[in-house]
Structure formats: C-alpha cells, structure tokens
A = this chain, B = another copy of it.
C-alpha cells in the first residue's frame, strides 16, 4: 500500500508516539513497520477490520494535528538534511563548509520558529 511509504507520517510517529495509547501504537507498528494487513491485525487483536481502520485513522489524526501545533517532525527532518550535507562535506574535507553547516544545524536546533 502506498500509504505505508508515508515518510512524513512515520517521522511524526517517531516524534509523537508518546501521545498514542499502547493499542494505537501497536496497531500502527503492525501496519506500518511490520507490513501487516488490516485483516491480519484484526485477527491478531480479535477486533473488526473496521476497528483497525478507525484506530489507524484516529492515530494519524493525533499525529498530524500535533505536528500542525508543534512542527517538530519537520524541524528534525530539516536538521537531518543539514547533517547529511555535513557528512558529505566531511568526506570531502571541506573545512569551511563543515563549519558553516554545523553553525546552521545549531541555529536550526535553537530557533524558536523551527
């Protein structure tokens, strides 16, 4: 399912999974990480396929609403990109670029605007 390759959602899950119940988290992990189908998860938990689908929809809503409020998943993703560039600069021994990118990454961490 295309849905399972939803990286922004997985990044939000990484940041905000602490806001989900144990059950919501488990259903999301089975679906997105373990590639289980709705029917398989339903059978595993002894609930209906519709209940699994509802749980996933509700979890996605919690994650996307929290990201709209806090923006931390996006902020960490920007930081990740800066660090990947920094790794490339380090491989190339581009000293000035490394310093600039480290400075930029620190600004990204410290920025209250994200």
Point out residues on A near B: beta carbons under 8 Å.
14-19, 69-72, 76, 79-80, 83-84, 86-87, 90-91, 93, 95, 98-99, 102-103, 105-106, 109-110, 112
B112 touching A14, Cβ below 8 Å: yes
CA distance A99 to B102 in the complex (A): 12
Copies in the complex: 2
By a CB distance below 8 angstroms, the chain B residues around A95 are 90, 93
A102 touching B79, Cβ below 8 Å: no
Contact with A90, one of B16, B19, B80, B99 (Cβ below 8 angstroms): B99
A80 touching B18, Cβ below 8 Å: no
CA distance A84 to B110 in the complex (A): 12
